[in-house]
Amino acid sequence: MPRSPMQLYRPSLFTALALLAGAIGTSADCALAQQAQPAPAPPPSWSETLERVSSGVVSIRVDGTRAFDTEWNQSTQATGFVVDAERGLVLTNRHVVMPGPVVAQGVFVNNEEVELVPVYRDPVHDFGFYRYDPAALRYIQPPTLELHPEGAQVGRDVRVIGNDAGEQLSILAGTIAKLDRAAPTYGKNKYNDFNTFYFQAASSTSGGSSGSPVIDIDGRVVALNAGANNNAASSFFLPLDRVHRALRLIQQESKVARGSLLTIFKHKPFDELRRLGLSSGTEASVRAAFPQGTGMLVVDEVLPQGPGDGVLEPGDILVSVDHVLVNRFVPLEERLDASVGEEVSLLIRRGEQDLRVAVTAADLHGVTPASLIEVGGAIVHDLSYQQARHLNVPVRGTYVASPGYLLSVAGIPRGAVITELNGRDASSLGAFEARLAEVPDGQPLRIRYFTEADPRRSTLRVVNMNRAWFPNRACERDDFLGYWPCRALDPGPPAVAPTAASTRFAKVGDPRADYLAPSLVMVNYDMPYTVSGVADLHYHGTGVIVDAQRGLVVVDRNTVPVAMGDVRMTFAGSLEVPAEVVYVHPLHNLTLLHYDPALIGDTPTRAATFSTLRPKAGDRAWVVGLRSDHKIVSQGTIVASVDAAEFPLSRSFRFRDSNLETISVVNAPPVDGVLANDKGAVLATWSSFAYQDGRQVVQVTRGMPIDIVADMVNAVREEQPLRSLEAELWPIPMAAARQLGLPDDYIAWLEGPDGPAIPQVLKVMRLVAGSPAAQLLETGDLLLAVDGKPVANFRDVEGSTTAPQVTLTVLRDGAMRNINVQTVPLSGRGVDRAVVWAGALLQAPHRALAAQRGIEPYGAYVAYFAYGSPASRHGLWAGRRVVEVDGEPIPDLDAFVAAVSGRRDRDSLRLKTVGWNGASDVITLNLDLKYWPAYELRRGPDGWQRQPIDSVAEPGVVAGEMSPTPDTRVRGLK
């Protein structure tokens, strides 16, 4: 009988009570169980994760102190993160640790700073490690960020935490889009990663984020940020498989072995592999072993004379390594790293054939340079695997990381690979050093090299050996010490006195050229340092012999701009002799040089004949000069005009001529030399003038009146100083002078028969700061007479201001005034002293500062700073003057040397500097005496000499006797 719903369950009273008791007990048990089990943890949030890991991220200030391998010397910024807080290990990129000498500081999120010491930089992949002293941190305990290589997955949201675009802590979001992107290519002669996949994400990282951790929401590091595409939002991350291995070995204080076949592999998809000859059976085996795989590795490049040369060929498909199938980079590298110096068995598919070959794994560290030589400002080291790959040449040769002074004189560029010195092998750094030690200073050094542009053809250049200007050292990396200890190079054999020789001047058939040829020489000038606002370091031009008996030659200041450099003269395109700077004209575009007449034997030189007539518009003249190939050029022309020279103010405070009338001609040839009359008498030097137009240096050629040249030569012979009014003048027409209140009687005189050929008045435009004239004259004054004698042109003024004091008649505010003014004696020695300190070159403030910008000659002027130096890092910029050191006034270079002497490596100094506009700034600077030793350069009776500032003998260098501070007299020649 079917039951009704009510009849389905009808408990008795007893049963009901029992059930009620059970229900009560069950409820209590459930409540107790719920209290015993904790509630599920909420999923992690990005804000909590970022707060937890951010204190392990380090902003890194990097100073690459030397150009080396793929890197220039530079000061830059990047990011790293703590991967072992107990040991103080920081992971970042290889290009942040740098292959060469480096100084770095790490700044944590609380702005605590620690010194970072390089521990490891991978030879190929873009990762490296720094170490800091954990005890140096007082206010922060950074966490160890866990490396989680297997956490990288397509579609995973990540954050990049780093010093992006110079910000100490930036957080950029992204999503991993690709796990098998080819390694990014940064360009020829630059560092490039290879034999690895990269990850790709759209996180828009930029400069400074190199070395940033790429973290997941749990705070684990899944990749290392390495690069970005400037034209897109793509960022490139390095996988952590090989990073993780290297970290473990470093923690174990074991060597990070790195093996290589010196062969570049590319990952190719299966469709392309079939076209290369992959068999269906092999494809099936590989697909079965690696179901997620999409391709295999193919040989792309084989380095000449490497382990794979003659065994592997581009297009070979790699099937297995030591009988284990391989389709990705990591398994291949694992086997090679474990087999350094041992053979590995490779199965390759070449076209329709399967080949098994044996190849010995090379040591990657053995083809990665770890030492360098500095000589003459140049930096060389063994050719690296990185650069050999760019050149497609064997890893053999001495690589020019920076040509510096010595090699740039010969036109040898960065990136050249030197193979021979003086006909002997120099294809390794040791051989290069041995060849250098055989060459005395001043003797020819024949250098054979090749370049990336033409690696199959060598070039031979000759340079004179020169050890004088720079420290000459060999340095080798020491990862235990954390820097590159250096030793002095062998000073070489004693210098050999130059020998005399003779030559003859060939006839060219032009009477003026044949007459003037014995009076013209080719002058080559090389500057080792940037000084006085002159940045270009190599010059050549035509010199004019003005005294054959004494060996005096005049050139323009665009051929020899300053006294600090090396001069060579070539006679008849055949005979080269050394020369020296005697006098640099402080006011005009002239320099006087001296050579030893005994060195040219009976070469028939002759002093040029000066004409006493000043050329004027319409006169016939001839431009005669030397081309760069030493051939003489003579071309007839017409004097177009004689005008006041007006050049814009210099941005770099280099010399600028003023108070000068120059000669222009019609259609002059592109040479410098002389402007002569029909008989070969010199009317003017045909000189090159350099001036700055904005940021560009412009060169024009004009005639310099010969009477100015004659006055300079006579002053040098008679040892008389040049005296100057120290006022820049400019001629104005009579109408403008009349408006300024010039009296009618003075105008009548100027326009009368006894007045100047061109009636004009000289107006004061600028005054040289610190001079007596600057205290007494004002801009806008009209200069009418000197010592009662009317003056109307520049030569009138220069000829009338040779006395120590003169009386000037000026018109100011419509009133005539007589003002007694002291003239200033000017030295023609030019720059004769400089201090190289903290990577900056300092000199006494030169006259251009006072003449062009009204800056009084006070302090130590920064003429130049090197990238990667303390000066670069801390803002000791060129163009500023140091006026205080640690609160002590610095009126001149002597005071500066006294203030910085005796300091120790890493000492901190406080410098007050002043810019050209008077704005002051206080910077702090940490010294680096390991890489930037301080020394002084002075010109004495025996030429330029270099000496450490503290008078502590530099190893391998004999300090020369210092000359006394020069007075205002010029050097006389007997």
Residues annotated as catalytic (active site), given as ranges: 95, 126, 209
Q: Name 825's bridge partners.
A: 723
What the block records as the tokens of 456 is 């199959």
Q: Which residue has the tokens 């350069």?
A: 937
Q: Name 704's bridge partners.
A: 685
Q: What are phi and psi of 910, to 5 degrees?
A: -110, 120
CB 598 within 8 Å of CB 578: no
Q: Going by C-beta distance under 8 Å and a sequence separation of 6 or more, which residues neighbour residue 97?
A: 118, 119, 120, 121, 128, 129, 130
Long-range contacts of 898-906 (CB under 8 A, 24+ apart): 900/837, 900/934, 900/949, 901/949, 901/950, 902/950, 903/927, 903/929, 904/929, 905/929, 905/930
SS3 label, residue 516: helix
SS (H, E, C) 573-611: CCEEEEEEEEEECCCCCCEEEEECHHHHCCCCCCCCCEC
CA dihedral of 246, 251, 257, 258, whole degrees rounded to 10: 20
SS3 label, residue 522: strand
Q: Going by C-beta distance under 8 Å and a sequence separation of 6 or more, which residues neighbour residue 948?
A: 933, 934, 935, 936, 954, 959
User: In terms of Cα–Cα distance, which of 700, 697, 691 is closest to 665?
Assistant: 700
Amino acid sitting at position 553: V
Rg (CA), the chain: 38
User: Cα–Cα–Cα angle for 625, 626, 629, nearest 5°?
Assistant: 160
User: How far, in Å, CA of 544 to CA of 625, rounded?
Assistant: 9
User: How far, in Å, CA of 586 to CA of 829, rounded?
Assistant: 9
User: How far, in Å, CA of 4 to CA of 772, rounded?
Assistant: 129
CB 592 within 8 Å of CB 713: yes
